[in-house]
Structures are given as structure tokens and as C-alpha cells.
Amino acid sequence: MGVFSVKTKIVFEDGLSSVLDQIQKAFIVSDPFMVSSGKISYVTDCMEQSGKPYKVFSDVTVDPGIEVVTAGVASMIEFQPDTVICFGGGAAIDAAKAVMYFAEKTQQAGKLLFIAIPTTSGTGSEVSRFSVITDKERSIKYPLIDDSLVPDMAILDASLVTSAPPSITADTGVDVLTHAIEAFVSTSHNDFTDAAAEKAIKLVKDYLLRCYTNPDDLEARQGMHNASCLAGIAFSNAGLGLNHGMAHALGAHFHIPHGRANGILLPYVMSFNAGCAEKLTPTVNRYAQVARLMELESSSIRQSALNVIRTSRRYMEKFHIPTSIRAAGVNESDFEAALDDMTASALADRCTASNPRTCTAEDIKTVFRKAYIGKLP
């Protein structure tokens, strides 16, 4: 049974003041940078003006782990809020989701109003039923996937993103592209998820480079903010694929930021899914449709798919993202030593389940090795 659901009310620009009457007591989840830079005042000023109590939990780290979630649950239970507002990048939103999830599962909290305010354009976490938590000791990233994780409201204010440095803009933007492409070719895609993914791909094509070269271009920033959210709607319903399964494993082992890990792997995973090196698969037709969206179409389906694959690698070069795992600074012996573990994690990752081409451990190893040396057909 196919389902398409968008529960989150999406508000553009400064929408927090419009919902203050629904908030009595707010638990604000953020990261230390948002507090030290004063950006958190976007939320706290609003709460101060309303005179309503609030508490800031800002211990969220780059790849939030179980210990951050446990501390967040304890802090939230102590405060007893009726609303959770998360303010930050994907890590802050994912951490807030996990805190609410575990507090509810352990019956320490009931249903709370959940408002997400993203300050990067990347994870689409503000509308998705996904949250990724890292077990640092075991170098594993776990995607939690549950309908209860979807925020009630997302505030998409592009003015919050203009201060993101070019490297963050690139990493997060490439994550958006990967979400849209993986959702578009996923085994669970449908006309509704396609609509969201197609628009996201077009917005990335039109606006990502503009955001990268001119961070203050507000029109481009809003375009990428919307692309991130639309790609989130697409993959929240259609799922992701092998690219994310492998990126979670690669990122957890070698501390490569999530979006960058996706960008490094994207051409090699697409090449595997399309069967470009051996026998073409039915997925090649979907990549040919991506080629049309990106204005890379050629007279043959194989060539159109190859154009997408090769252009995606040139894209990484433009954004100064490494085009192979080796170029990302991973030493060959460390890579080989981690390969079995990474392969097992990628195979078991819940994202891999909706990949359009079924894959064995041996297939994943081959893709990892091609991505290590940067080998494309």
C-alpha cells in the first residue's frame, strides 16, 4: 500500500510570532554555536516578548550520539514543556526528534507541539520522519524512522541561512541533491514523491551554485531552503537508498560530514544502480529523466544517464568537494581495514532497503573501492 503524507505546516519567513498563542512553555533544542553567536535570539527574543517560560538545551554536537539524547531527555523531563522548538542544522533537529521519541516511548512525556526551524538547507529533517543518531563507540549511524518524528510546523526563513560558509552550503546542498535523486529512483517512489523530488532537483540546478558563490543572494537561499524541504517531503515518503546507507557508514568511520560523504559517493552509486559498467538496469530510465530535469539529456538513454553521473562528479569539483574517498584524505590501509565493517553497516542500514538495485555485500564493497580510487565508466 503506497502512502503519501505531509503532516507539517510549512510557514515562510518569520512565523514563530504567529504561533505563540499555542505555546505555554517551550523547550528549545539547539547547538553551542547558535548560543555563542547570539543567533538563538531569533527564538528567545520572541519567547521573552511573550513573557512565557522557556529553557535552552544547547548540548547538541555535530553527529548527535546517544549520550546527547539521554541528557536532552533528562533536561526536558525536568522542565515539563508543552512545546519543543528546535533551532539549528540537521543535527539539532534530529537530536530534538530523538529526545521527544525516547521521552514518549519511555512514557516520560506525552504528545508535545513540535516546531522545527532549520538554519541550513540540507537534511529536510524539518518535514521528514527520519532522525540519524550516532553510536560513536561502534562507529555506526542509526536512522530512526517513525511517523511520530515528523514536526508539526516548519519555519523556512532563508535569512537564517545566509551566514552559512561556502563549504557548509556545498555539503548541505549536495545532500539535498542526493535526497531528491535517491527518492526519485527509490523502489517506493510514486507520482507524489516524484513531484517533490523533481522540483527539488530543478531548484538545486538553478540555485546551489548561486548560493555557493554569493552567500547573500536571498532569492537563491530561499530556493535552496525550499529545495531542501521538498526533497525532505520526497524521501520521507519514498525512502532513500544505497548512497545514504554507504554515506552513514563512511561518515561514521572517517568523520566525513554527512552531505560531503553523500556527494563523494553519488556518481559511483548512480553508476552501479544504472548498471553502466555492465548490463543496463531499468533504473537507467529514471536517471535519464533526471538528465532531462537538469538539462543534460542526450539522444540515448545510456548517454543521458552517463551525463548525470559525470556531471554530478564535475559538480563536486565546482564545490571543492573531494571526488573520491582517497581525495577526502582517507589512507588506503585505514580504508581497507574498515571496509568489511562499513560494508556490513551499509547493507544493514534501513536506507539501503529502498535502493532500486538489490545489492550484495560484494556489490557494496566494489562500489566502495571504485569510490575510493574515483573510477567511473
Cross-strand bridge partners of residue 115:
85, 153
Beta bridge partners of 57: 29
Closest approach of Cβ 247 to Zn ion, in Å?
A: 7
> What's the closest the beta carbon of residue 61 comes to Zn ion, in angstroms?
18
Beta carbon nearer to Zn ion, 26 or 244: 244
Of 69, 70, 174, nearest to 120 by C-alpha is 174
CB of 287 to Zn ion, least distance (A): 19
Residue among 46 and 197 whose Cβ is closer to Zn ion: 197
Grid coordinates representing 24 are: 505555554
171 near Zn ion, judged by CB under 5 A: no
Give least dist CB 98 to Zn ion, A.
Answer: 16
Q: Which of residues 39 and 260 has its CB atom nearest to Zn ion in the complex? A: 260
Nearer to Zn ion, 43 or 224 (CB): 224
Residue type, 228: S
Q: Which stretch binds Zn ion (CB under 5 A): 2-10, 72-80, 171-179, 342-350?
A: 171-179
| Residue 103, C-alpha cell as written in the block | 521521552
Rounded distance between C-alpha atoms, residue 275 and residue 357, angstroms: 9
Phi first, then psi: give them for residue 203, nearest 5 degrees.
-65, -40
Minimal distance in Å, beta carbon 257 to Zn ion? 10
Residue 88's H or E segment, with its range, is strand 83-88
Phi-psi region of 376 (alpha: psi -120 to 50; beta: other; left: phi over 0): beta
| DSSP character string of 303-358 | HHHHHHHHHHHHHHHHTT--SSTTTTT--HHHHHHHHHHHHHHHHH-GGGGG-SS-
Report the residue closest to Zn ion, judged by CB.
175
Q: Tell me which of 31, 94, 175, 198 binds Zn ion, using CB under 5 A.
A: 175
Candidates 27-35, 55-63, 175-183, 268-276; binding stretch for Zn ion (CB under 5 A) = 175-183
Minimum CB separation from Zn ion for residue 175, in Å? 4
Q: Which is nearer to Zn ion, 128 or 343 (CB)?
A: 128
CB of 226 to Zn ion, least distance (A): 17
Least distance in angstroms from the C-beta of 216 to Zn ion: 26
Work out how close the CB of 185 gets to Zn ion at its nearest, in angstroms, rounded to a whole number.
Answer: 15
Task: Report in angstroms how near the CB of residue 231 gets to Zn ion at its nearest.
Answer: 9
CB environment 23-48: b (16+ within 10 A), e (fewer) = beebbbbbbeebbeeebbebbbebbe
Length of the chain: 377
Please identify, using beta-carbon distances, which residue of 175 and 349 lies nearer to Zn ion.
175
Question: Count of residues binding Zn ion (CB under 5 A)?
Answer: 1
List, in order, residues 6 or more apart from 308 with CB less than 8 Å away: 270, 287, 288, 290, 291, 294, 296
- In terms of DSSP H, where are the helices of the chain? 32-36, 41-50, 66-79, 90-105, 166-185, 191-213, 218-238, 242-254, 258-274, 283-293, 301-318, 332-348, 361-373
Closer to Zn ion by Cβ: residue 31 or 175: 175
Q: List the x/- string, 298-327, binding to Zn ion by CB under 5 A.
A: ------------------------------
Listed ranges 20-28, 110-118, 174-182, 319-327: which one lies at the site for Zn ion (CB under 5 A): 174-182
The stretch among 2-10, 167-175, 215-223, 313-321 that binds Zn ion (CB under 5 A) is: 167-175
Q: Which stretch binds Zn ion (CB under 5 A): 141-149, 151-159, 169-177, 303-311?
A: 169-177
Of 158 and 180, which CB lies nearer to Zn ion in the complex structure?
A: 180
Cross-strand partners of 27? 55, 84
- Using the contact rule CB under 5 A, the part of the chain among 149-157, 172-180, 277-285, 317-325 near Zn ion is 172-180
User: What phi and psi, each to the nearest 5 degrees, are found at residue 325?
Assistant: -65, -35
Return all residues near 12 (Cβ < 8 A) that are at least 6 apart: 155, 156, 157, 222
- Residue ranges that bind Zn ion, judged by CB under 5 A: 175
